[in-house]
Amino acid sequence: MKKLWEHLLFLMIMIQLCSAQTKQSCHSAVYCQGDLLHLVQTAKIFNDSKTFVDMAMIHPLNETLKRFQLLMSENDEHPTREQIKEFVYKNFKSIGELDEYYPRDFKHEPKIIKEITDPVVRKFAQSLIDIWPTLTRTVSYHVIDHPETHSLIPVPHPFVIPGGRFKELYYWDTYWILKGLLLSDMVETARGMIQNLLSMVERFGFVPNGGRIYYLNRSQPPLLTQMVADYVKYTKDFEFLRNNINTLEKELQFWLTKRLVTIEKGGKTYELARYDSESDTPRPESYWEDIETCSRLTGEKEKMYECYADLKSGAESGMDFTSRWMFDKFGEPTGNLADINTRRIIPVDLNGFLYKAFKVMYKFNLILQREEEAKFWLDKADQWKNSIENIFYNEEDGIWYDFDEKLGKQRKHFYVSNFLPLWAGAMDDNVKEERGRRAAEYLKKKGIVNFQGGIPSTLLQTGQQWDFPNAWPPYQNLIIIGLDKSNSTEAKEVAKQLAHKWINSNIKGFHDNKAMFEKYDVQTSGQFGGGGEYNVQAGFGWSNGGILELIHLYYRAKTRKYIGSF
């Protein structure tokens, strides 16, 4: 009965996909779209759909497609699972697309180690720094010589991968990795990683989610401008800035043209951005999982395509997945992935990131004496600050909330993203201290300061990996540093308390497991997280970089100083 159901589901999906003008993930007839991808992924040969689309073709593309057509014709268009499996292993292989690389600028004991006064924290920081060479990679000659037979996007410089199943570079992971590399005095590696992302902007017009062609349908939180700010502040390499300022502008124009939305409120019009993948087919790396999720909308073909687009848009947000994007018609969160409505939400964090980028671009152009460009970006920053204030800020609760475009109202739920404008400084200077104090009070009111293992992403336990009880490294730093920079005495104290808890939890987890993880459980200090589409991954690039940033801020003997506060 189960096999019959799967066969019927296969036919239904094929009919629906073929009968519509869908927008594919990319142009590849193997890795992004087409009968071959669909047949292999729905046969569920591998436990993780990402496994297949990360394999290399043994033969040239045309030969691979000919062999696939032969498989289909010889088996009356319905090969068995075993025949499909045999075809895959005869025509694809998992080869070393990336080579291990020992970074030339690696220093076993960089300056930060000598400045840490606490011996336990110092030993832990040293262990994190020693992980960098184990995660550093270069693109192998296999990919460089035959890029058309791989899903990997070749880049020119060595880079640090997150770890685990994530064997390529990722956009916003790189931001946190970069902070750790700079604090580890690995300037050459840091610059190369930025250059890799800049090269993607030149090729594709934006930075994709990650370094695979099947990610070319979406980006991730726009942090490239801030990466350059961190690098320039650390190195004073203003020539690098001059050489790449136009590429930074090109990336931000992607968000201003492809992700823009207009909101009307109180008789006024505001421009903001949202996460919005333009592709409405299953994610190649989660193909069968997406079909299972969206097939629950059987009989509503257009909703099925919208479901795929919202899944990809949720992945673009970096928070894939969370009840923040899943809710019923009344806007109440459900935690049911089939209820995903990412594109309906105007997100606080995305617009905070953009405000910060616009403000940095203003400063960059002033430095380069480009007055007209400086004025353009200052105007954008002021416009975004005004929109953030009027659309997101809730005076009664003293916090920022996402905005539901369809219902025309704020979504008054706890999400770590609520605090992003504080980190970005997206407010007038005369209210910054008050906003910090009220944000700290909001954290206390929600009971967040009582958790021993970090700040939970949400307070709703759904089984989704970006929901309770999971704490994710990026937002620990964004919240802590936002509170600290507000200059509120109360906010600074809460920030310090949260920072020490997070650092201690990571130290305990590393001591117990001899590894760093991508996420942790807030209920128990040192316990790694769970839930979601795959098992928790160890490594882990952004965990290491984020912790080093907090150690740099709270455990150095010298005067406290932000890394990359431009």
- The pLDDT of residue 2 is 43
DSSP tally for the chain: helices H, then strands E = 22, 14
Q: How far is CA 42 from CA 13, 32, 66, 286, in A?
A: 10, 14, 20, 11
- The pLDDT of residue 82 is 97
The pTM for the full model equals 0.95
User: Is 50 exceeded by the pLDDT of residue 254?
Assistant: yes
Count of CB atoms situated within 10 Å of the CB of 277: 25
Q: Express each pLDDT in 378-406 by its tens digit.
A: 999 999 999 999 999 999 999 999 999 99
Q: Express each pLDDT in 506-529 by its tens digit.
A: 999 999 999 999 999 999 999 999
User: Is 50 exceeded by the pLDDT of residue 143?
Assistant: yes
Of 185, 285, 289, 320, the active-site residue reads 320
- Smallest CA-to-CA distance from 168 within 57, 285, 255, 251 is with 285
User: Is 70 exceeded by the pLDDT of residue 4?
Assistant: no
- The pLDDT of residue 22 is 75
- The pLDDT of residue 302 is 85
Residue type, 426: A
Integer Cα distance of 296 and 289 in angstroms: 12
- The pLDDT of residue 165 is 85
For the chain, percent of residues with pLDDT exceeding 90: 89
Residue type, 430: N
User: Is 518 among the residues known to form the active site?
Assistant: yes
- Smallest CA-to-CA distance from 489 within 561, 432, 549, 446 is with 432
Residue type, 519: K
In the DSSP assignment, the letter for residue 527 is -
> How large is the average pLDDT for residues 439-468?
97
Q: What are the E-state strand segments in 109-213?
A: 136-139, 159-160
> How large is the average pLDDT for residues 235-248?
98
Of 54, 249, 484, 518, the active-site residue reads 518
Burial of 19 (0-12, 13-18, 19+ CB in 10 A): exposed
Q: How far is CA 419 from CA 138, 414, 489, in A?
A: 36, 10, 17
Q: Express each pLDDT in 184-232 by its tens digit.
A: 999 999 999 999 999 999 999 999 999 999 999 999 999 999 999 999 9
Count of CB atoms situated within 10 Å of the CB of 274: 23
- The pLDDT of residue 533 is 83
User: Is 90 exceeded by the pLDDT of residue 19?
Assistant: no
Largest CA distance in the chain: 74
User: Is 70 exceeded by the pLDDT of residue 14?
Assistant: no
Q: Express each pLDDT in 44-65 by its tens digit.
A: 999 999 999 999 999 999 999 9
Q: Which residues neighbour 46 within 8 Å (Cβ) at sequence distance 6 or greater?
A: 52
User: Is 48 among the residues known to form the active site?
Assistant: no
